[in-house]
Structures are given as structure tokens and as C-alpha cells.
Structure 1
Amino acid sequence: MLFALGMYVFELKTLAPESLNRKTDYGYATNARIGTRDAAQFTGSNETVTLTGTVYAEIVNDLAAAQNQQLTLKQRVSNLLNSSISKSSISDFLTGRQDQHNQSAEIVSIDTLRQMADQGQSWQLVDGNGKVYGAYIITGITEDMKVFWPDGRPRQIDFTIELKRVDPEQNNQTVTTVSYA
């Protein structure tokens, strides 16, 4: 595991970021004063993390195929029942073969992150050593698809995932109602 954002794990078989850029801005409110420098009051910090990387379909599919070879037939059937796999790929799935032109794992991984962002909640960011960076929301996902298969699917995807740190209590999506007696 390289990083985890909530339950999503960044690793070689999903998305493996090549870099993590962590930026912290410190805010100050200022008030102009006559004859002296402006008065400044610290208003807090704003932290962002940007994960960037490149995914190659051949590499990800080879890793997925190697992992799939280690599964028993019972595990493959269980995975088949719990996932959305097209009927045309059932045979390859059960035998552990993957066609290089099938839906690439990296596209599914990016779509999973988009679904997480659509939920509008924060997620804990943790690195492979167990360091907790804090709660983050996904503010942007960029894909740059290159080098296409004849059917239009990308062989290479450059990606950027932008995160913004928030207070942990913003993770709570409950609505509090106040009633007056």
C-alpha cells in the first residue's frame, strides 16, 4: 500500500501516484494602521495535497491477471457474483485470463474516486507507514488519456487528484434541527 484515502487503497494494481505535493497556506487578516505596519491576526491554515501519476493498461492488467491466477475457482465465482462484469468476459474471469483490450483496471479505479467525491464527504488520508495526514475532501480529478487501442480505450492515463484538508467534524453529514418551545 502506498496511500489510502478512506477505504480506497493506492497501490500498483489500482493507481500508484508518482508524486505527492503537500502545500500549506497560512491565512492572516490585516487591518491598516496609521503611522505603523498593518496589524495581522492569524486566521488559520489551508492545506492541499495533489497526487499525480501515470497508469499503463498493460502493467495494471498484468498485475490484475497475476493476482487473479492466485484465486481459487470458488473465490472467482464469489467475485463474479459481487461485481459488475460483462457476460463476454465471464469465461476469461473464471479461468484467470484477462484480455489486454478489456476494461482497464485503472479506469475503474478513477471512477471509484469520482464516486467518492460525489458523496461530498471527507476521507482520512494515510500513507503506507501509517502516518495519518488528516481528513480530506476530493476537490478535483483530472485524467489525460493517451496512446489508444484501436477501439478507443487508452493504454496510458496521466492522472491528478486534488485534495483539500478539512476539519474532521465536517465528515459528519447529519443535519441538526433546532426547535423552539
Structure 2
Amino acid sequence: MAINSLKDSERTALNAAQTPDPEKFVPLADHTLALNRIKTFEADETKRLDCKIEDAVSKAIEDGKVAPASRDYHLAACRADGGLERFQAAMNMLNALVMMALGSFRFGVSKPEHKKLSRSTVYRWKAMERIGRAPALQFLGEGGDEITLEGTIYPQFKGGLKQVDGMRSMAGTGVPMMLVDGGGAVWKRWCITSVDDTKTYLFADGTPRRIDFSIHLAAYGGDVLW
């Protein structure tokens, strides 16, 4: 009896091995197919994520929120776990990089970019004539203060052809404007006294590929407007 029982158990085990319970086991071919599909999905998802990262960083550079030289750093940071979400949140909180702001006008990477700032300040001294002696100078205080911003615009890259016209429109209002640099320092109020531009590398229709400009400012003085 014991031998027959063992044989019956063996046959049962063999039958179970040949026709396993479908709720507990799957065919090897189906398992392999499922794994391949998962790997393909993961690879496609990685590509989609990488495209999103590239687009996000490129957009931030175009908007002037990220310096082009730091592109590789931000790409690597975005590829870390949760990196893209952190990057997007940071970009939403950032204003575009601004080198200088004059009233509502901005100079920066994605806007008219000034490459040179020159400042000239005059201090007034009055010569007092003296008999038998050289004239003596008496200090009367600060004189005029002037700034010249020189830069280049590539209209096809950002901002179009009307940026210098915008400067002239601002100058035509006759209103002194607050000048603030990218570090947050306030330079008080300044007046636009002249705007010059030179257009070069023209297309066949006369449209310039490059516009070099200079804007001349004079300090308004210590009087408060409002």
C-alpha cells in the first residue's frame, strides 16, 4: 500500500509539473515577452524624458534664465531622480538674467545685450583769482555724470528689429528712469540723451543680421520726481 501511495504521489507531481496551475505559473515564452516589453517601454520612456530635459534646458537658455556655459551641468542635474521637476520649479521662480534695467527696458542675454559700459563723472572746481599768487580752487560739488552703454543685437536670435526703436520711444517720453544693474544695485534716475545704431550684414531686402547700438545717459540729479 505504501508503495502504491508513493507511486500515486509521484504521478500527481509529474502531472502537476506538466500542466502547472495557471494562477501560479506562466509559460516561459510569455514571461520573456513581458520582460522584453517592459525593457522597450523603459527605453522609450528614458528617451521621452531626455527630450523633455533637453527642451527644458534649451528653453531656459533661450529665455535668458540659464547661462549657455552651464548647459551640461543642468542637463546632468535634470537626469537625476526628480531633477527635471526641481529644475522646472526653479525656472518658474526665476526672472530672465538681466545685466541692466533702465525703466521698463532690459539688457541681457536674450535681450539687447550691452558689452561695454563707460561712465564719466565731472567734479566742479572754481578758480579763485588771487593777487600775486596762483589761482586757488574752490570745490563746488559734483558736476555731470554720464554713462554710455554699447552693445550688439542679433534680431533673428531674439527680440526682433524694433528694440532700438523701443529705446528711442523711451527717450521721447522725456521722463528720467531708474537704472538698476544685475546685482541689484540702484543707480538712481537717468535720462536718455541720445541713441545711436549701426546696421550691418544686410539681407537682400536690407534687413540687418546685426545691429550695434549705443545709448547715452545723463544723471537726472538729486531732485525727487515722485
Work out whether the TM-score is over 0.5: yes
Q: Are the aligned partners of 1:123 and 1:171 in contact in 2 as well (CA < 8 Å)?
A: no
Residue 122 of structure 1: CA displacement?
A: 0.6
Question: Which runs of structure 2 are paired with 1:71-82 in the superposition (5 Å)?
Answer: none
Structure (1 or 2) with the greater helix fraction: 2
Task: State which of 114, 120, 128 in structure 2 corresponds to 1:23.
Answer: 120
Residue 38 of structure 1: CA displacement?
A: 1.3
Residue 106 of structure 1: CA displacement?
A: 4.7
Residue 40 of structure 1: CA displacement?
A: 2.1
Residue 166 of structure 2 corresponds to 112
Correspondence 1:52 to 2:150: yes
Residue 142 of structure 1 corresponds to 196
Partner Cα distance (2:116, 2:165) in 1: 20
Partner Cα distance (1:107, 1:171) in 2: 33
Higher relative contact order, structure no. (Cα contacts within 8 Å, ≥ 6 residues apart) = 1
Deviation by residue 1:5-42 (Cα, 9 ceiling, x = unmatched)? 01111122321000111111111122221222213222
Partner Cα distance (1:57, 1:121) in 2: 27
Larger Rg: 2
Question: Which runs of structure 2 are paired with 1:115-134 in the superposition (5 Å)?
Answer: 115-134=169-188
Partner Cα distance (1:106, 1:58) in 2: 6
Partner Cα distance (1:165, 1:153) in 2: 34
Provide the TM-score with structure 1 as the length reference. 0.65
Deviant stretches of 4+, over 6 Å: none
Partner Cα distance (1:170, 1:161) in 2: 23
Provide the TM-score with structure 2 as the length reference. 0.53
Of residues 118-127 and 49-58 in structure 1, the stretch that sits farther from structure 2 once superposed is 49-58
Residue 41 of structure 1 corresponds to 138
Which consecutive unaligned segments of at least 5 residues does structure 2 have?
1-97
Residue 207 of structure 2 corresponds to 153
Task: State which of 198, 216, 219 in structure 2 corresponds to 1:162.
Answer: 216
Which consecutive unaligned segments of at least 5 residues does structure 1 have?
61-104, 173-181
> Residue 171 and residue 118 in structure 1: after superposition, are their counterparts in 2 closer, same or farther (change >3 A)?
farther
Deviation by residue 1:92-127 (Cα, 9 ceiling, x = unmatched)? xxxxxxxxxxxxx35322111111111111111110
> Residue 165 and residue 133 in structure 1: after superposition, are their counterparts in 2 closer, same or farther (change >3 A)?
same
Q: Secondary structure at the match of 1:47?
A: strand
Amino acid at match of 1:48: E
Q: Are the aligned partners of 1:122 and 1:168 in contact in 2 as well (CA < 8 Å)?
A: no
Q: Percent of pairs identical after alignment?
A: 32
> Residue 168 and residue 31 in structure 1: after superposition, are their counterparts in 2 closer, same or farther (change >3 A)?
closer
CA RMSD of aligned residues (A): 1.6
Partner Cα distance (1:144, 1:18) in 2: 15
Partner Cα distance (1:135, 1:143) in 2: 23
Q: Secondary structure at the match of 2:134?
A: coil
Partner Cα distance (1:41, 1:156) in 2: 48
Deviation by residue 1:28-63 (Cα, 9 ceiling, x = unmatched)? 122221222213222322111110011122322xxx
